[in-house]
Amino acid sequence: MASRSRKQRHSEEKEEKTVTPKKQRLSDEKKEKTVSPKKLDSPTKLSPNSLFGMGNPLLDISAEVDKDFLDKYGLKPNDAILADEKHKALFEELVGNFKEEYHAGGATQNSIRLAQWMIQKPHKVGTFFGCIGRDKFGDILKQKAQEANVDAHYYEQDEEPTGTCAVCITGDKRSLVANLAAANCYNKDMHLDLEENWALVEKAKVYYIAGFFLTVSPESILKVAKHAAENNKVFCLNLAAPFISQFFKDCLMQVMPYVDVLFGNEAEAAAFGKAQDFETEDIEELARKTQALPKENKKRHRVVVFTQGKEGTIMAQSDKVETFPVLKIDPEDIVDTNGAGDAFVGGFLSQLVQEKTLERSVEAGHYSASVVIRRSGCTFPEKPDFH
């Protein structure tokens, strides 16, 4: 078929038009459409700015520490907190006494970078909004976004320096202490509402925001979430950390009716269930009850995805709850679990924005998380090997 000339093909098509009854032609065309491998293999055509993320851009300062260091600053392994006055010395000690590394960070920004990496081309499928300072760390973040082919539009201001996050690594666990600084200064009126910026929001078809941003600009989240619901687009949220469900419950529950896909890990799921008085610690039941919460856009069923580290990932949708096994990894190959959750979401979003199945999205999430935990920080090789 491929070797025939264009003229010959045209002649044969013309001949077919002459001799084949219309009803049969339509049937043949439909059949060809269904079985053509080319049609099945071609991915949904993506355009720039299809995936939108908004959150706290932070520069990660990673270092391996010991249990005494965690105890000194009242930190728990595998936890995430906001820095207060007592943690000021922690940042100084981390930089002064340990071998530190710098990486572009912030939960949402990480996930958008990972999604773009999984997609590869076109570039700038992922858009990211957040606030940074006009300083050296801000310049590093701009450079990292550019290198990752993400279309970052930062709100830049002079009042606060670019935010940082101390990543305190003990074995295969990590404790995060975020000093939001500039990230805390995001301003809806001064950035999101600007005509050229809102136009980028309108271009997107999938939205993702980590719950950490509820501490900064819940009004910005609501504006984006309502836009998604009104236009039947997909709005995704992450529970982010146990303290969000505990101390920012009201803000979280204002946004929840607009959430089409909710992410979280087992600790976050447990904290959410406790805050909601679900009276269960069973993760499948927590997913089921969360999935059934009131929802604004009735055209879409909510999907709830709870990861459990090396245990299976739970997904609740409609009337079923499924468990998907993660990829097996030798514990000796694990370098750093920081960013594993962000990587999972990034992989998931890379398929969701291409309108692939939810099962395929989970697979991609598991793959990207397995890549990131073998490396230091939320980093990745030049190209993915995901088929």
Cα Rg, the chain, nearest whole Å = 23
Question: Is the per-residue pLDDT at 29 higher than 90?
Answer: no
**Known catalytic membership, residue 342:** yes
The answer for 363, left when phi > 0, alpha when psi is -120 to 50, beta otherwise, is alpha
Tens digit of each residue's pLDDT (9 = 90 or more) over 206-238: 999 999 999 999 999 999 999 999 999 999 999
Tens digit of each residue's pLDDT (9 = 90 or more) over 285-342: 999 999 999 999 999 999 999 999 999 999 999 889 999 999 999 988 988 787 899 9
pTM across the whole model: 0.85
- Bridge partners of 104, per DSSP, are 59
pLDDT of residue 383: 96
pLDDT of residue 378: 87
Q: Token pair for residue 235? A: 């709005």
Question: Is the per-residue pLDDT at 25 higher than 80?
Answer: no
pLDDT of residue 44: 62
Taking residues 133-138, what's their average pLDDT?
94
Lay out the sheet containing 261-265: strands in order across. 151-157, 126-133, 51-54, 206-210, 234-238, 261-265, 303-308, 311-317, 320-324
Taking residues 71-83, what's their average pLDDT?
92
pLDDT of residue 4: 44
Taking residues 382-387, what's their average pLDDT?
94
pLDDT of residue 319: 84
- Cα separation, 242 vs 259, in Å, equals 18
Tens digit of each residue's pLDDT (9 = 90 or more) over 235-274: 999 999 999 999 999 999 999 999 999 999 999 999 999 9
Catalytic member of 158, 250, 342, 385:
342
